[in-house]
Chain A
Amino acid sequence: RKEVEQDPGPFNVPEGATVAFNCTYSNSASQSFFWYRQDCRKEPKLLMSVYSSGNEDGRFTAQLNRASQYISLLIRDSKLSDSATYLCVVNARGTSYGKLTFGQGTILTVHP
């Protein structure tokens, strides 16, 4: 089983749509959670951290369910510029202290 699993998509949505991505992680010792976005042939860029209480940044909302080891990202009012690959990232403490584990990514294409 992969440490971090995501639905690879692709998700093709029209502008203005709401889209949700899910992610599950296998290491119950995981302490920190993030969503990154990666544009084609570029490095990943941090989109937002994910907190236990859930957090929102403009059109983006992230949720964490530790009991289910599940993370989600909701994008409202999608823009063309949101087209990218969204990476679920987990940082496990202990023996993997400081090591980021990336999911395979979910591809989003927003069309006019």
Chain B
Amino acid sequence: GAVVSQHPSWVICKSGTSVKIECRSLDFQATTMFWYRQFPKQSLMLMATSNEGSKATYEQGVEKDKFLINHASLTLSTLTVTSAHPEDSSFYICSARDRKVAGLDTQYFGPGTRLTVL
């Protein structure tokens, strides 16, 4: 089946540093990947839609200069949290669409990255 990986699975960093999270589709090509954020006891909130070879589309209220997204290939999207602060501590999850599967409903989720900013 379709597998999506994320790296790292968890990261602890100091306030003010930047953190890069990778999302990879391992056995399929993904023209579109999605980045979500989940705070404790809350549901997943879509942050942005990442399209291979073009700029990401950010949801309202998400700062594009703070959350940099790069989707340089059909199997890799990266999310960089720049100048991270404690309020950015969250569970970041990506999902990917298989370009060979018709319809936009089939998304495969990565295992998530737990970010803690001290």
Contacts and interface: CB of A to CB of B under 8 A. Distances in A.
Contact of B43 (A41, A45, A91, A102): A102
B43 A105 contact: yes
Contact of A103 (B43, B91, B107, B109): B43
A16 interface: no
Contact of A104 (B42, B46, B49): B42
Contacts of A54: none
Main secondary structure of the interface of B (DSSP, over half): strand
A102 B105 contact: no
Contacts of A101: 46
A101 B58 CA distance: 14
Nearest to A34: B105
Interface of A: 32, 34, 41-45, 49, 87, 91, 97-105
Interface residues of B, number: 20
A10 B84 CA distance: 33
B44 A44 contact: yes
B8 to A, nearest CB: 15
A87 B114 CA distance: 20
Interface in B82-108: 91, 93, 95, 97, 104-105, 107
A91 B111 contact: no
